[in-house]
């Protein structure tokens, strides 16, 4: 489960030009606007990440519009701009007895907000997401301040791809069995299920069987009723972003993935090139994430995913311009 509510050290506080009641507080790589004087540099704060569903009792001031998620009245934390300052998430005083590093997500009843799933994407569960494949997930660069410094110093090379805003699909072949999964479920093959239809249309079973290996192909499903169809596609499409080697328990590197997919006629998430992160910081990577999508002119891209060419590590930088423009769905 994502750690959405953690006790973190305040590393910086800066004034916001033209605002005298609020200031900008930094925890790790996150910038959060708070009431002036509430927090001190070097002190602790409870930080709730964006996409937290916060129960009303914790933050009644956010819940003027009554909204419910999984039966809990509350509010979703988003990226906002206050007096020209980006603010992501929410800072609260540290609860009695909690100390730095504590994860209070469960204790505080905070959930990860998820948009409702359209019917053709829901599918019927064959089982839980298989334990032999890794669930697709990328950590946010704002949570990787120390790691990023090490990676920059080490001069590692990274494949940079556009992060597409759709729904995650995994197709696996394991011990002779082919299966297709959504983000969290292994799905029964049923008529009308978009995941299975895309897997069949793209001949993923044939591709995997031809390798003679236990592998999983992972990609982003974009389509007419997925995430509001930001790319305006007429029919569902699959854009591959990873291949997982089940026997070795690791993702294939970019060159290995490209070699395996070569000639299969699959779409791939836009590859923007390879780069080392010389001079990069959280702020510079967030800035570089802001651009238009390679998939559709005029559409903001969601962000970038960086995958290391020499180690099984990866992370994402989500575009704040994208987040600020996101519609409620
Ligand atoms: P949320 O947590 O808001 O639901 P998310 O679904 O995008 O966000 P994250 O863990 O934040 O999930 O990001 C990883 C996801 O990004 C993957 O599960 C995958 O579906 C999606 N994705 C889209 N494009 C790419 C890409 N180029 N490389 C890797 N993952 C990608
Ligand atoms: Mn996410
Ligand atoms: Mn997504």
CATH value at residue 71: 2.40.50
Same-domain check for residues 166 and 207: yes
Give the pLDDT confidence of 267-289 residue by residue, as tens digits. 999 999 999 999 999 999 999 99
Q: Which of 50, 77, 112 is the last residue of a domain?
A: 112
Residue 141 lies in a domain: yes
Same-domain check for residues 177 and 258: yes
Ligand nearest the Cα of residue 219 is 1
Residue 135: give the domain boundaries.
119-324
For residue 25, pLDDT over 70 is answered with yes
Inter-residue contact 202 to 240 (CB < 8 Å): no
Q: Which of 60, 94, 112 is the last residue of a domain?
A: 112
Same-domain check for residues 69 and 124: no
Residue 144 lies in a domain: yes
Residue 329 lies in a domain: no
d(C-alpha 68, C-alpha 71), whole Å: 6
CATH value at residue 210: 3.30.470.30
Closest ligand 1 atom, residue 304 Cα:
27
More confidently predicted of 58 and 122: 58
Residue 135 is predicted with a pLDDT of 87
Inter-residue contact 193 to 129 (CB < 8 Å): no
Distance of CA 305 from the midpoint of ligand 1 (Å): 8
Residue 286 lies in a domain: yes
Pocket of ligand 1 (CB under 6 A): 51, 136-138, 161-164, 168, 220, 241, 269, 305, 316
Give the pLDDT confidence of 104-120 residue by residue, as tens digits. 999 999 999 998 888 87
What band does 130 get if pLDDT is binned at 50, 70 and 90?
very high
Instruction: Give the long-range contacts of residues 135-140, CB within 8 A, separation 24 or more.
Output: 135/183, 135/184, 136/168, 136/170, 136/183, 136/218, 136/241, 136/242, 138/163, 138/305, 138/314, 138/315, 138/316, 139/315, 139/316, 140/29, 140/49, 140/315, 140/316, 140/317, 140/318
Same-domain check for residues 147 and 285: yes
Give the pLDDT confidence of 207-248 residue by residue, as tens digits. 999 999 999 999 999 999 899 999 999 999 999 999 999 999
Helix axes 282-289, 145-154, angle to 10 degrees: 90
Distance of CA 40 from the midpoint of ligand 1 (Å): 34
The mean pLDDT of the chain is: 96
Same-domain check for residues 291 and 147: yes
Residue 326 is predicted with a pLDDT of 83
Residue 328 is predicted with a pLDDT of 64
pTM of the model: 0.94
Using CB atoms within 10 Å of the CB of residue 14, give its burial: 0 to 12 exposed, 13 to 18 middle, 19+ buried: exposed
What is the arithmetic mean of pLDDT over 25-42?
98
Residue 110 is predicted with a pLDDT of 98
Same-domain check for residues 275 and 294: yes
Residue 116 is predicted with a pLDDT of 82
Residue 329 is predicted with a pLDDT of 52
What is the arithmetic mean of pLDDT over 250-267?
97
> What are the backbone dihedrals phi and psi of residue 237, each rounded to the nearest 5 degrees, phi first?
-135, 150
For residue 122, pLDDT over 90 is answered with no
Residue 8 is predicted with a pLDDT of 98
Same-domain check for residues 47 and 175: no
Q: Which residues contact 133 (CB under 8 A, 6 or more apart)?
A: 170, 172, 174, 181, 216, 244, 246
Residue 129 lies in a domain: yes
Same-domain check for residues 75 and 129: no
Same-domain check for residues 219 and 123: yes
Same-domain check for residues 251 and 271: yes
Q: In total, how many domains does the chain have? A: 2
For residue 254, pLDDT over 60 is answered with yes
Beta strands in 201-251 (DSSP E): 215-222, 237-245, 250-251
Give the pLDDT confidence of 133-176 residue by residue, as tens digits. 988 889 999 999 999 999 999 999 999 999 999 999 999 999 99
Q: Which of 112, 133, 165 is the last residue of a domain?
A: 112
Share of the chain above pLDDT 70, in %: 99
Residue among 138, 162, 222 to mutate when testing ligand 1 (max atoms within 8 A of CB): 138
Same-domain check for residues 72 and 145: no
Same-domain check for residues 154 and 108: no
Closest ligand 1 atom, residue 314 Cα:
29
């Amino acid at each position: 489960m994502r750690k959405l509510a953690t006790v973190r050290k305040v590393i910086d506080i800066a004034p916001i030009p033209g605002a005298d009641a609020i200031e900008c507080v930094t925890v790790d790589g996150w910038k959060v606007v708070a009431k002036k004087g509430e927090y001190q540099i070097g002190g602790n704060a409870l930080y709730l990440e964006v996409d937290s569903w916060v129960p009303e009792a914790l933050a009644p001031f956010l819940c003027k519009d009554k909204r419910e998620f999984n039966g809990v009245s509350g509010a979703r934390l988003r990226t906002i701009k206050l007096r020209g300052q980006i603010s992501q998430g929410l800072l609260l005083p540290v609860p009695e007895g909690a100390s730095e590093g504590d994860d209070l997500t469960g204790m505080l009843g905070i959930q990860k907000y998820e948009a409702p799933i359209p019917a053709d994407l829901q599918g019927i569960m064959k089982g839980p997401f298989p334990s032999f494949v890794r669930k697709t997930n990328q950590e946010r660069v704002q949570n990787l301040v120390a790691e990023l410094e090490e990676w920059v110093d080490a001069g590692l090379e990274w494949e940079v791809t556009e992060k597409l805003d759709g729904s995650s699909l995994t197709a696996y072949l394991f011990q002779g069995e082919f299966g297709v999964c959504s983000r969290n479920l292994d799905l029964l093959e049923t008529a009308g299920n978009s995941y299975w239809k895309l897997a069949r249309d793209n001949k993923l079973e044939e591709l995997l069987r031809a390798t003679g290996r236990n592998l999983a192909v992972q990609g982003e499903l974009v389509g007419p009723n997925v995430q509001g169809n930001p790319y305006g596609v007429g029919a569902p499409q699959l854009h591959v972003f990873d291949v997982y080697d089940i026997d070795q328990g690791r993702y294939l590197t970019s060159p290995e993935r490209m070699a395996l997919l070569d000639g299969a006629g699959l779409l791939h998430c836009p590859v923007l090139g390879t780069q080392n992160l010389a001079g990069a910081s959280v702020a510079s990577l967030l800035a570089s994430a802001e651009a238009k999508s390679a998939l559709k002119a005029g559409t903001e891209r969601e962000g970038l995913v960086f995958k290391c060419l020499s180690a099984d590590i990866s992370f994402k930088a989500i575009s704040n311009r994208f987040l600020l423009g996101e519609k409620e769905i």
